[in-house]
Chain A
Amino acid sequence: MSTWLAALPWMVLAIAIPLLGALAAFVQPRRAQVIGLSFSFLTAGAAVGVVLDFITLGPQQHAVGGWGAPLGIDLVADGLSILMLGMSAVVGVAVSIYARAYFVPYPDKAPRFWPLWLFLWAALNALFQSADVFNLYVTLELMGLSAVALVALTGSGPALWGAMRYLLVSLLGSLAYLVGVALLYHAYGTVDLTLLAERADGGLQLAVPLGAMIAGLLLKTGLFPFHVWLPPAHGSARAPVSALLSGLVVKASFYLVLRLWFTFVPEGEGLPLLLGCLGAAAIFWGSIQALRQKRLKLLVAYSTVAQLGYLFIAFPLAGLEPQMAWSGSIYLALSHAFAKGAMFLAAGAIMTQGGHDEIDELDLVVDRMPLTLAAFALAGISLAGLPPSGGFVGKWLLLESAMAQGKGIWAAIIIVGGLLTATYVFRVLGFAFTRSEHHHERHEVPAAMEWTALLLALGAVLLGFVAPWALPLLDGVLP
């Protein structure tokens, strides 16, 4: 048994362990909490194993069951994959610890949460390590289904609607992607990314499938104007679920866009410019909507819409300075996962304690829950791109690549977007520091919930100091 286990590479374990955990938690509903948390740690451990393998041995490849591409399934871990795996591991562990404490008062929800979440994690890890477009479709679909079920966990009317809308959009997106896969296979006779990169020759037979796939993925990422489903789903889900959706799930489809882009490196100016403009529109629209929200969780959800826009600013900037623009975008994605995860966890803790999340009734949260507010503030700093934080590094890289090409307009958009972010973050902080007139009943909040939010937020800030070590991991991945 042990030798058989030892023979399995970390890459496989990172997918197998959460799957096994999901099964175990499902058949042992009464012990779901314990099983879920233990398997979360194991999964994160396996992900760390993949990362360490990469650092010591370089990019990894594993043919599952001994069948290699193009017939079998290949797992590949390059720099981009392991950054995403690592991100999921950190956010995943934090959310798991938080969720164990969070679900104690809801004994009926916990047995449903853990299998779905571990299932989602397995899908994510598989997605980040898949090397052919069809496997990516399967993992994408698995991820989408478990995410939808997690939203529906809340059980209330708005959450169910949110879940339904999310499901329809998600399926539509996957089908568009699948049509793209079919056309690609028709044109080039393979679904393996490496082979596709060699055979792809441009022209319509590449442009049409690529367009369909990217459109489907944008739908799932929630890029403006496809964002309509996102705030209701993320805003009405349970706090740990919202953290996972905003932190990880939307990143997975964005990762896939990047993967396709890096593989095919589409030519021409039009599509990158369009994506950049949609990104800019998302920044402004999302921020303005966030400013108008009365409820904290919806504010955070609209903030996701805005922050996703930033990730797409890299497309029009990548023409002459690909290295810097892509690094900036990926770094922003990482920081956003940490920061937004922390922010949703903090919002959940605030809601647990006060029983509501009205922003202008926050009533001295700073005294009642200093750790949680610190988490929210630090996460907000990273989102707004204020130094020192991961968000700052990401925006700095984007700004630098914009200025180096004399594209001042993109720099201006990034800067003004940061200012808008700061405005809505500090609107919350202002009320958190102020006494309100109404009195609300208070509930106990477990320390684990406050600390996980804070540590995750600190992670977002810490990312601001490790960029010189993290970014070289991407060498060889970026076009």
Chain B
Amino acid sequence: MSSALLYAGAGMGLLLVGVWALVLRAHLLRKVLAINVMGSGAFLLLVGAGAMGGGPVDPVPQAMVITGIVVSISATALALALVLRIAYATGKAALPEDRERDLMDREGR
């Protein structure tokens, strides 16, 4: 019981840490990592919340988490590929400030 609560609590914590990093970190790699941390948090929460009822361990959340991890891996792969492309195309692995983007918009269409 208490271990399930621990899982769920840790999950919530990871989620918050992830959001914090996602918003504040400029480097895209860090943002991708932040999303991954958040994902782990969500999975912990799913498993933990599933187990909180007591009794035998419910298999459904486990199955869901496995599916979720697969999805998360493909998302991470796509994100990393994008980061690379951005770094090649612009020389920086970061999103532009608004003013910078407007300029590019006007020139680059």
Q: Which A residues fall within an 8 A CB radius of B?
A: 70-71, 134, 137-138, 141-142, 145, 148-149, 152, 155-158, 160-161, 163-165, 167-168, 171-172, 175, 178-179, 181-183, 185-186, 189, 191, 232, 236, 295, 298, 356-357
**Residues of B contacting A70 in the complex (Cβ-Cβ under 8 angstroms):** 60
Q: A172-B22, A175-B42 are in contact. Are A185 and B50 (CB under 8 A)?
A: yes
Please report B residues at the A interface, Cβ cutoff 8 Å. 15, 19, 22, 28, 31, 35, 38-39, 42, 45-46, 49-50, 52-53, 58, 60-61, 64, 67-68, 71, 74-75, 78-79, 82-83, 85-86, 89-90, 95-96, 101, 104-105, 108-109
A181 and B78 contacting across the interface, CB-CB below 8 Å: no
Residues of A within 8 A of B53 (CB): 186, 189
Q: Are A164 and B60 in contact (CB under 8 A)?
A: no
State the CA gap A182–B86 with chains docked (Å).
Answer: 34
CA distance A182 to B45 in the complex (A): 7
Interface residues of chain A: helix, strand, loop or mixed (majority): helix
Q: Are B42 and A164 in contact (CB under 8 A)?
A: no
Please report the C-alpha to C-alpha distance between residue A134 and residue B50 in the assembled complex, in whole angstroms: 14
**In the bound complex, CA of A183 to CA of B12 (Å):** 11
B86 touches A168 (CB 8 A): no
Nearest residue (CB) in B for A177 is B42
Q: Are B104 and A157 in contact (CB under 8 A)?
A: yes
Find out whether the CB atom of A178 lies under 8 angstroms from the CB atom of B68: yes
CA distance A148 to B74 in the complex (A): 12
Interchain nearest-CB distance for B97 vs A (Å): 11
Indicate which residue in B19, B64, B101 contacts A161 across the interface (CB closer than 8 Å).
B101
Which of A71, A168, A186 meets B49, CB within 8 Å?
A186
Cross-chain pairs A/B with CB under 8 angstroms, 5 sampled: A145-B75, A161-B101, A168-B22, A178-B68, A185-B64
Task: Report if A149-B78 is in contact (Cβ < 8 Å); known contacts: A157-B108, A179-B15.
Answer: yes
C-alpha gap A186/B101 in the complex (Å): 43
Query: Is B85 in contact with A160, judged by CB distance below 8 angstroms?
Result: yes
B79 / chain A contacts, CB cutoff of 8 Å = 164, 167-168, 171
Cβ contacts under 8 Å, B109 to chain A: 295, 356-357
CB-nearest residue of chain A to B52 = A186
With A160-B86, A295-B109: A167-B78 Cβ-Cβ less than 8 Å: yes
Given contacts A161-B86, A165-B95, A167-B82, contact A185 B42 (CB under 8 A): no
Interfacial chain A residues near B15, Cβ < 8 Å: 175, 179
Q: A352 to chain B: closest CB distance in Å?
A: 13
* B95 neighbours in A (Cβ, 8 Å): 161, 164-165
In angstroms, Cα B38 to Cα A163, docked, is: 20
Q: How far is the CB of B26 from chain A (nearest CB, A)?
A: 12
Besides A138-B67, A185-B49, A185-B50, 13 other A-B contacts (C-beta < 8 A): A145-B74, A148-B82, A157-B104, A158-B108, A160-B85, A164-B86, A164-B95, A168-B31, A178-B42, A179-B45, A182-B46, A191-B64, A298-B105
For A138, what are the chain B residues with a Cβ–Cβ distance below 8 Å?
A: 67, 71
CB neighbours (8 Å) of B75 from chain A are 141, 145, 167, 171
Set of chain B residues within 8 Å of A182, measured between Cβ atoms: 42, 45-46, 49-50, 61
Tell whether, in the assembled complex, residue A183 and residue B49 are in contact, meaning their CB atoms are under 8 Å apart.
yes
Chain B residues near A236 (CB-CB < 8 A): 105
A141 to B76, CA, bound (A): 12
Q: How far is the CA of A236 from the CA of B106 in the complex (A)?
A: 11
Partner of B35, one of A149, A175, A179, A356: A175
Partner of A160, one of B38, B50, B67, B89: B89
- Which residues on A sit within 8 Å (CB–CB) of B35? 168, 171-172, 175
Q: How far is the CB of A299 from chain B (nearest CB, A)?
A: 13
Bound CA span A35–B107, Å:
36
Residues on B with beta carbons closer than 8 Å to the beta carbon of A145: 74-75, 78
Q: Nearest Cβ in chain B — how far from A241, in angstroms? A: 15
Q: Measured between alpha carbons, how far is A164 from B94 in the docked complex, in Å?
A: 10
